[in-house]
Amino acid sequence: METPIPESRKKFFLLSGEKSTLLQAELRALVEIYDRKARFEKIHDRVFVVDGKFSPDTILKRGAYINTGGLLLTHCKMEDMERSINSIAFEDFMESSVIFSASVFNLSHKPLSEKVEVIIGSAVKRRIPDARVSLKDPKKIVIGIISDNHLLIGVTDYMSKKGWRSRRPRTRPFFHPSVLYPKFARGLVNLSRVREGEVLLDPFCGTGSILIEASLIGAKTVGIDVSMKMCRGAMDNLRHYGLEALGVINSDSLRLPIRHADAMVTDIPYGRCSSSRGLKTKDLLQEFVSQAGDVVPRGRYCVIVHPKTIELDSPEAFDVKEDHEVYVHSRLTRAVTVLEMR
């Protein structure tokens, strides 16, 4: 029998290392979906403790920029590490015949990983004499995170891979250079705070990257593209992963052909894939945004990717909740704007 995880305990999360405000924003958005009242404590730019009623696995499964996380066991100053680790009641979190491993993430410059791993390993064995170590196939991983002069210890049983590599755009039946990478597309879907079973619309869906990531987290999806070739390609790409959209509509999104979506996430056309109506990107963005409020309800979100050089004039129907930047290459920095419907 697995030891049940109490949902009310504090959780910890370690973010991946990219330099963007998008990473923290994704974690906050995900936590907000499952517990609006959760409280955050920042330990380091990449390390957060969250006190809330949700299962850490739910967040880990969806997250794009979350490397690991789980239940918080303790956190302390480095000088107190032996005493703190030795006082953890590991037997409350692991069964008597647990197969476990210890894994340490060292965000400091001090060479302490091995020492912490050894202390964790012996502390677990002292508390649970029949526990066995397996680096290949552990059922629980005790995690240590060293940052500055701080040590955090947690436990997780979430190990599944996200499959970014296996979903690389070039491995899909239909490819176009305007495609978004799956990790980024997943991050955008999460910023929209869409829940499993709700409808997410991408009105400029191209090859379907956003539709794919939204479908994988269990949202229902609708895509629109003015190009028939893109619509067919997006459907082929979805089918490649055994997924299906509610619909992929060949239409002009400057006159949105649908009445309702719980969330909208899109990467507007610019450069080589500009609008069919020959509008400048700035005008297209403004025109599109002005009608988004007719589709997405009050209090819900619309996430728009656009070049940083093209700013969105403050629209009346929305509050700009967040603004992020993602460097792509010397000529393109993407802006990600999260709008909340008024």
Ligand X SMILES: C[S@@+](CC[C@H](N)C(=O)[O-])C[C@H]1O[C@@H](n2cnc3c(N)ncnc32)[C@H](O)[C@@H]1O
206 lines the binding site for ligand X (CB under 6 A) = yes
**Kindly report the CA angle at 39 between 22 and 32, in degrees rounded to 5?**
50
DSSP 119: H
Q: How far is the CB of 29 from ligand X (least distance, A)?
A: 19
224 near ligand X (CB under 6 A): yes
Among 26, 157, 213, 225, binds ligand X (CB under 6 A): 225
157 binding ligand X? (CB under 6 A)? no
Helices (H), the chain: 22-34, 56-62, 81-86, 113-127, 182-191, 209-216, 228-240, 281-292
| Helices 209-216 and 228-240, packing angle to 10 deg | 30
Q: Which residue is nearest to ligand X (CB)?
A: 206
147 belongs to the binding site for ligand X (CB under 6 A): no
> Taking the complex as a whole, how short is the minimal distance between the CB of residue 235 and ligand X, in angstroms?
13
259 token code pair: 């009445």
Is the CB of 129 or the CB of 177 nearer to ligand X? 177
Is 253 a binder of ligand X (CB under 6 A)? yes
Q: Which stretch binds ligand X (CB under 6 A): 155-163, 192-200, 207-215, 324-332?
A: 207-215
Min separation Cβ 237 and ligand X, Å? 8
> Which positions from 255 to 294 touch ligand X by CB under 6 A, shown as an x/- string?
------------x-x---x-xx------------------
Nearest CB to ligand X, comparing residues 84 and 275 = 275
CB neighbours of 262 closer than 8 A, spacing ≥ 6? 194, 195, 198, 199, 200, 296, 297, 300
The stretch near ligand X (CB under 6 A) out of 5-13, 188-196, 224-232, 290-298 is 224-232
What is the radius of gyration, based on Cα positions, of the chain?
Answer: 22
Kindly write out the interface string for residues 163-182 of this chain, putting x where it contacts ligand X by CB under 6 A and - elsewhere. Answer: -------------x-xxx--
**Residues 6 or more apart whose Cβ sits within 8 Å of residue 49:** 10, 11, 12, 40, 41, 43, 72, 75, 152
Looking at this protein, which amino acid is placed at residue 63? G
CA nearest neighbour of 66 among 121, 15, 8, 134: 15
In the complex with ligand X, which residue's Cβ is closer, 51 or 287? 287
**Residue position matching structure tokens 């997405």:** 296
Residues lying near ligand X in the complex (CB under 6 A): 176, 178-180, 204, 206-207, 209-210, 224-227, 230, 252-254, 267, 269, 273, 275-276
